[in-house]
Every structure is written in C-alpha cells, then in structure tokens.
Amino acid sequence: MSLTEQLRSDMTTAMRDGDTTRRDTLRMAISAAQMAAKDKRAPLTDEEAIEVIGREVKRRRESILAYEGAGRADLAAQEKAEIDILAAYLPEQLDEAEVRTLVTEAVVATGATSTRDMGRVMGHLMPKVKGRADGKVVSALVNEELARAAGA
C-alpha cells in the first residue's frame, strides 16, 4: 500500500472513529499530496509524498512560533497535535548527536575548512538527511562545525 493510500485509509478510519483532529489533518495532507501530484502531472512516489508531509510539518512548526508569539497557546497546541499525527508518516527523525556525526563526516569528506565551504558541505549532506532532519538544524550544526574548523 502506497503512502497516499495509507493516508486515505487512515482518514476513513478517523472519520468512523469520530476523531476530527486526525481526520482534518489527514485530509489536509491528502489535499497537499493531490496538489503536488497535479503539479507533477503524475502520481506521487512514496518519497515525494514524504516530502509533501515534511513540508506540512514545517508549516505547522512555523505556525507554532507565530501563535506562541501572539499568545495563542490554544492554536499552538492544535498545531502540535497535527505535527504528532503527521510525524507517524515520516521516516524516523535523526537526533542531534546523529546529525552532528553526519556533519563531521561531511566536513571531512568535502575537505571544508571555512564557512565559505558551507554550500559544498550542505550539498553533500542534505541527500543523507532529507526528510529525517530539519534543514535549519542541519545548517546551524554545519555552520558551527565549519567555524570550529576555521578556528582550529
């Protein structure tokens, strides 16, 4: 069963169970996947569907920051609940220690010595962490590692 089929099946189950948060979250994810498939003019592969879900999670994380900044803890909690639902469809996320290890390996593999080499390191690293780590976190860790390499 493909990921998009799994989303539809789980949405149907949520509808039967009366779980409105899960139903609505999955409905939005399915809609986003359908829009991506329409833009592509072909059905999505599971990898592409994972990218779409990852974008939806990223949007919700940004919304949480905005809601918390505006003092709307209720809406931030709703977004967090939606992230928890969508996270079940994403590959297991790497923890910070695993990302640090990959960053160190990428810096060594590319021979990077300063922050000017960030693009090369990120280009080498991102295919390995795609969908499994937040790009902002990876970028910050690469920046930190390159600054340490330049200072050493």
Q: Is the pLDDT of residue 31 over 80?
A: yes
Domain count, the chain: 2
Q: Is the C-alpha dihedral spanning 108, 112, 114, 119 positive or negative?
A: negative
Match 């290890």 to its residue by tokens.
101
Instruction: Say whether pLDDT at 150 is over 80.
Output: no
Q: Which of 68, 87, 106 is the last residue of a domain?
A: 87
Q: Domain residues for 41?
A: 3-87
Boundary residue ending a domain (87, 115, 140): 87
Domain boundary among 87, 120, 136: 87
Residue with tokens 């999955």: 26
Q: Is the pTM of this model over 0.85?
A: no
The pLDDT tens digits for 36-64 are 999 999 999 998 999 999 999 999 999 99
